[in-house]
Amino acid sequence: MRIDGIRYICLGALTTILVLGGLACGSSPTTPSPTPSPAPSPAPAPLATVTTMGITGRSTLTAIGEATQLTAVANYTDGTHKDVTTEAVWTSLKPATLTVSSGVVTVVNFGLASIDVRFQNRGVSMLMAATPPNTFIFWGRVREPGNSSIANVQVLDTESKRTVLTNQSGEYEFANLRDPRFRVEKDGFESVEVKSAPFPAYGDIPVQRFVRFAAGGSVSTELAPNDLSYEIGPDHCFPCKRIRVTVPTAGTLHLTATQPTVAATGLNIWVNGNRFPPVGSSVGADAPVSAGEIFVYVGGFSSTSGYVPFTLTTSLTSS
């Protein structure tokens, strides 16, 4: 009976025992199944970033107070494009000429100005011009060949008589002109007159240091890349140097220009409009001259990519 009672108790408590994990009546403990690991989430796609910027809109205006809207577009690494005009940072490099706000450019004065726009460390610029209808902007720089740009050089428009001084970068700018011819003057340099091309062309004006000495003397100098050019009768001397030789009395001026080596330029001498061609690495000329200052030109017929040093020596046989 006791054993049966025990059995009865065990059977009656089966539900409780099963709930408690089967720890009685000869049942064995069970091991819980492991929880499966979740599948790894895919890596998020990288965010698209700006690769380049672009500006669209009018680049030429014709009246003070006139305004125009520019548009800034950002190009992204995923191939998409976005109008960022209102989000970008706009700057005018010459606010006294053109101002800009949210891409709206307004003319303050006639001239040129670069309009810059930046967005997410990317930027682009547009050079804009403002000048009245049927007029042009002329801009460029004055430089000494073989050296650098020259500041504070007076550039005169011989038609309107307007003048400007070149800035620290040697640059000059005129707006509201029609068909100018510029004269460039600076102490210690030969004056030069040029016919410049309008914007967007860049008017590069080379000027030459003044060289003068008396007959019987000499000078050592060099032709430089993109040096000056002179029209001498039917000839075009380029690159070229103008040298002034003062002659005390009439006679025959003897000139010799020599180079350390034979250069592709091939030195020529022009005196009184006559050309004397080179022979090897030198060229000589015997020219009848009157008393006074004689213009002598030494140079070639084509551009040179390097420097061509030479020495010009002179002597005079009086009549």
Asked if the model's pLDDT at residue 30 lies above 90, the reply is no
pLDDT given at position 137: 97
Q: Which residue has the higher pLDDT, 305 or 82?
A: 82
pLDDT given at position 45: 64
pLDDT given at position 253: 98
| Per-residue confidence band for 23, with pLDDT thresholds at 50, 70 and 90 | very low
- Residues 144-161 have a mean pLDDT of 94
Cβ atoms 156, 185 nearer than 8 A:
yes
50-130 is a CATH 2.60.40.1080 domain: yes
- In the DSSP assignment, the letter for residue 54 is E
Asked if the model's pLDDT at residue 96 lies above 90, the reply is yes
For the segment 204-240, what is each residue's pLDDT rounded down to a tens digit? 999 999 999 999 999 999 999 889 999 999 999 999 9
For the segment 109-140, what is each residue's pLDDT rounded down to a tens digit? 999 999 999 999 999 999 999 999 999 999 99
The answer to whether the bond into 200 is cis (omega within 30° of 0) is yes
Q: What is the CATH number of domain 138-206?
A: 2.60.40.1120
Cβ atoms 141, 207 nearer than 8 A:
no
Fold match, 50-130 / 138-206: yes
Q: How many whole angstroms separate alpha carbon 317 and alpha carbon 319?
A: 7
Asked if the model's pLDDT at residue 11 lies above 70, the reply is no
**Residue bearing tokens 């001239």:** 111
Domain ranges of the chain: 50-130, 138-206, 212-318
| Per-residue confidence band for 40, with pLDDT thresholds at 50, 70 and 90 | confident
Indicate the fold that domain 212-318 takes in CATH: Jelly Rolls (2.60.120)
Cβ atoms 28, 96 nearer than 8 A:
no
Cβ atoms 148, 204 nearer than 8 A:
no
- In the DSSP assignment, the letter for residue 73 is E
pLDDT given at position 260: 83
Output the furthest CA–CA distance in the chain (Å, rounded).
Answer: 166
Average pLDDT value for the chain: 88
- Residues 52-66 have a mean pLDDT of 97
pTM exceeds 0.95 for this model: no
All residues at 6 or more sequence positions from 235 whose CB lies less than 8 Å from its CB, including other chains: 270, 275, 301
For the segment 254-301, what is each residue's pLDDT rounded down to a tens digit? 999 998 876 555 799 999 999 999 987 889 999 999 999 999 999 988
Six token digits for residue 155 = 């550039």
- φ/ψ of 111, rounded to 5, equals 150, -165
| Per-residue confidence band for 181, with pLDDT thresholds at 50, 70 and 90 | very high
